[in-house]
Amino acid sequence: MDKDFLPVEIRCSPEKGKNMNLTGSPRKLKDTAADVFNTLHRWTDLNKDGRNAMNEIANIKLDIILSKEAASEETVSHSNSFPTSLEPLCQQLAEIYKKMEKCVNKLEGFAQIMENLHQLESYRNSKSEETLSPMFLTWHTAHFVEATQEVFKSYKKELSLKKMIIENVCHATDRNTMMFYIAAWIHQPYITDNATLLVESMLTETGHRGC
């Protein structure tokens, strides 16, 4: 075989081995990375529940809006734009928001855990006069801090958008506004591709994902 094309061994996280019993900071860091992922998975499920409720609200509201457009001004002035059938759906969205808020609070806590671990490792290295080295593959603890903080900030902004949507969707008076709220809920503009990539990179770095 040509020496220029010898197989190259791809390095995996040293903490990936099944028989590797982690302790201390590596164990806590790896567990926290998993907690971040599980929390985001929970958020995704809640967002789907919210989407379903939004679609039901849209069907009710659009029927009202279309009826208004076809009716005379006299009929419109006496029509009910907030029927009782919307109340349980609006309450459902409010409950979903509370659960999403808990997810964001957890993300804030995970970011603080990463910061504490980084401070601890920095202190230990300063005492031993050693250079702070990666705990797994290539990431220093500071990278985990930056990643979890960016993820937290993204979801915090998205939570604010969810709150605005929930407060206004049941009171939408035209089709375009209704469609805007639904699209904003589904597409989650503040949750960037970079935030998603950071989570996947963190999972790979800690051995939760294959390499």
| Spans of all domains in the chain | 23-205
Task: Give the pLDDT confidence score for residue 67 in this predicted structure.
Answer: 76
| Contact in structure between 57 and 170 (CB atoms under 8 Å) | yes
- 42-65 pLDDT, tens digit each: 999 999 999 999 999 999 988 887
Element (H, E) at 43: helix 24-70
Give 46's Cβ-side CA count (13 Å radius): 22
Enter the DSSP assignment of 72. Answer: -
**Can you give the pLDDT at residue 2?**
45
C-alpha span between 8 and 51 (Å, rounded): 46
Whether the Cβ atoms of residue 140 and residue 52 lie closer than 8 Å to each other: no
Average pLDDT for residues 97-101, to the nearest whole number?
99
| Tokens (6 digits) for 102 | 């808990």
